[in-house]
Amino acid sequence: MAEPTNTPMPTAPPTPRSTSPALAATRPASSGTTLSPLKAIVPTPALASLPVLGGPVAGARKPVVLHIGDPIRYNPETYAEFATQFDVVRPDVHERERPEFAQALRDRRWGDFSAIFRPFWGTGGEMGHWDAELISLLPDSVRVFASAGTGFDWADTQLLGEKGIVYCNGGLAAAEAVSDFAIAMIISTFRILPYCIGSAASGSAAAFRECHDSATARSHNLRGQTLGLVGLGNIGQQIALKCSAAFGMDVAYHDVDPKPAVLETRLGARRCDDLEQLVRQSDCVVLCTPAGAGRLIDARSLAWFKPGARLVNVARGSLVDEDALADALEQGRLAGVALDVHADEPNPNPRLLALAGSRALLTCHNAGGTVETHVGFEELAMRNIMAVLAGGQPVTPVNLQWLKAKATQ
């Protein structure tokens, strides 16, 4: 998902995967409008038994919601409902800068608010990393933090959970856009699009003719190729379904959370016991797992790749040792890569940049960046807050295991 420049790149301690609803319960119906598909979403039965600390927020006054970032843009009807239930307080840009923001929390400038609402990626991150310093300053009244974005490595979700705060991400809203983008990147690696595009864009007639003559021998159809998905959450499930059903790919996956057999059958996906087993049999490996998984692709794991295999990353740059990846490309061990995310954003690795016209497709953390995604971010964040503060279940929580641990202490 496209991150804001004001969101810090260093990651928090490892964070778990989202317990978002599975694809079968969440994929929206096709529509010709940009209206949010999320209004009909309700928690799945799997979530019904998960505890949320406390009941509905009670009292004569409406609960206060701290809105960090720009005003909502896309869902006025939902916001009207939201604003009737809560007093929404929105600090200005100056108040959101870290020193001022931290002081405001110390001073209880916004009182005992019950929720934090961040509907956009581009704003609302001015205070920087949500670490122990900021989280310790939050009033005990806070019950839920609902934010745009799929990744949550800019917030310590374990500390939030231990303080009794449910963190909800926007991964459900971004799954369609990120999976579509991943498909384009997968195709680019099999059809050597970086080379084709670079040759045409060079303006050289000789480069054009050479590419026209030579690209065929390096290009392959997707049908029958093995796609290895690292992670089978909302995004991975949509990639699996699209690649299996539309392109006839053989889809395998590895996930720390094994999926039910009925879902595997529906997606046309089979499980591998570990990363090595997955990588060794894959013609293209796609990273679609949270950053908390640690560095997955390094010199050791790159040795497992088939000669001429491919790598796509739509997750986080921190998952990949980019110099080891450049070594594999320069030595011809990998046919190509497509990377939407990078270890040192906004600065792609120089060695990979040098391969951008031949073996590497590099983009600017764009995979989730569509209008429809942002419509969904807004809607989903409001629905999460309304559900939790009414005493119900969140739609897209990512840290319930730490709330459960606290509840049993």
Cis peptide, bond prior to residue 346, ω within 30 of zero: yes
Cα dihedral value 76, 80, 85, 89, nearest 10:
70
Residue 275 CA to residue 294 CA, distance in Å, equals: 13
Q: What is the DSSP string of 27-38?
A: PPPP-SS-S-TT
Strand residue runs (E) in 238-304: 250-254, 269-271, 284-287
Q: What is the pLDDT of residue 53?
A: 52
Query: DSSP assignment of 376-402, as one string?
Result: HHHHHHHHHHHHHHTT---SSBS-HHH
- Give pLDDT, residue 54: 53
**Distance in angstroms (rounded) separating the CA atoms of residues 108 and 294:** 37
Query: Which burial class, exposed, middle or buried, applies to 162 when counting CB atoms under 10 A from its CB (0-12, 13-18, 19+)?
Result: middle
> Which is nearest to 172 in space by CA: 8, 363, 384?
384
Q: Hey, which bits of 215-359 come out as E strands?
A: 226-230, 250-254, 269-271, 284-287, 309-313, 334-339
Which residue do the tokens 């295999």 mark?
Answer: 309
In one-letter notation, the amino acid at residue 44 is T
Per-position b or e across 5-30, b if 16+ CB within 10 A of its CB:
ebbebebbeebbbbbbbbbeebbbee
- Separation between Cα atoms, residue 248 and residue 227, nearest integer Å: 10
pTM (predicted TM-score): 0.83
* CA angle, residues 92, 369, 199, in degrees to nearest 5: 135
**pLDDT score of 192:** 98
Mean pLDDT by 10 residues, the chain (409 residues): 30 32 34 38 37 55 96 97 98 97 98 97 93 97 95 90 96 95 98 97 97 97 98 96 98 96 97 98 96 90 98 96 98 98 97 96 96 96 98 95 69
Distance, in Å, from the CA atom of 159 to the CA atom of 402, rounded to the nearest integer, reads 8
pLDDT at 153: 83
Cα 199 to Cα 192, 195, 202, 218, 220: the distances in Å are 11, 6, 5, 15, 18
Q: Supply φ then ψ for residue 296, to 5 degrees.
A: -100, -35
Residue 185: predicted pLDDT: 98
Distances (CA, A) of 346 to 6, 245, 262, 275, 379: 11, 35, 41, 28, 28
Q: Which two tokens stand for residue 275?
A: 């990363």
Q: Name the 3-class secondary structure at 367.
A: coil
DSSP per-residue string spanning 146-178: EESSS--TTB-HHHHHHTT-EEE--HHHHHHHH
CB distance 218 to 335 below 8 Å? yes
> DSSP class of residue 91?
-
Beta strand 226-230 pairing with 115-118 = unpaired
* CA neighbor of 258 nearest in space, from 272, 277, 276: 272
CB count in 10 Å sphere of residue 95: 16
What separation, in Å, do the N-terminal and C-terminal C-alpha atoms of the chain show? 36
